[in-house]
A and B are shown apart, each in its own frame.
Chain A
């Protein structure tokens, strides 16, 4: 069974601060995704990282995929109250009948105070 350990589980910060969320596994994934979920809604895909060492930027969000494709991080610069939500990492399995299956981390609940 592939597992993803996400940390921290809770993060409460002031507007303008920076933060990093980590996602670690002992397994290799074909790609890794980050989602943001609002209360009462389903997860919404933010980004997919595919290549080991890949870095993607989405405005103030920076996503990195580890060289060995076992870990990833999400860094938010100058957090805003609108960034508040549940952030989930998910590893994508590759090959055979496992194709496309997602393994989720436990999630990080981020609260940004004005």
Chain B
């Protein structure tokens, strides 16, 4: 089992460009999450999807949109990237007490 798979692993964008971060899980989990990790700030929740067909804002949603395409896939879109969105992005899925994180996407916006 792959667990949670994120693509791409690295990306460099110019300010104003758009991109979509992909996430897929093969564990049949209902809930999926997008976090960003910045030095000294732990992980902060951007958006989450408690179940297929629902999405909700987290702590830092501005500048992002999400799509829960089906039970397996949860994508994060940056419509107009800004340097403040330079970060490492993690997708996670959850069932009961079992959280599984992907290996992350390191995004640099120049």
> Measuring CB to CB, which residues of chain A are less than 8 angstroms from any residue of chain B?
1, 4, 6, 9, 31, 33, 40-45, 48, 50, 88, 90, 92, 97, 99-107
| Contact yes or no, B42 A45, CB < 8 A | no
Number of A-B contacts (CB under 8 A): 61
Specify which of A1, A9, A106 lies most central, judged by the most chain B CB atoms within 10 Å of its CB. Answer: A106
Chain A residues lying within 8 Å of B31, measured Cβ to Cβ, are 99-100
| Contact yes or no, A1 B59, CB < 8 A | yes
The answer to the question of B56 belonging to the interface, with a C-beta cut-off of 8 Å to chain A, is: yes
Chain A residues lying within 8 Å of B94, measured Cβ to Cβ, are 100
Main secondary structure of the interface of B (DSSP, over half): strand
> Measuring CB to CB, which residues of chain B are less than 8 angstroms from any residue of chain A?
4, 31, 33, 35, 40-45, 48, 50, 56, 58-59, 90, 92, 94, 97-104
A54–B110 Cα distance when bound, in Å, is 47
A48–B99 Cα distance when bound, in Å, is 10
Closest approach, in angstroms, between the C-beta of B62 and any C-beta of chain A?
15
| Contact yes or no, A101 B48, CB < 8 A | yes
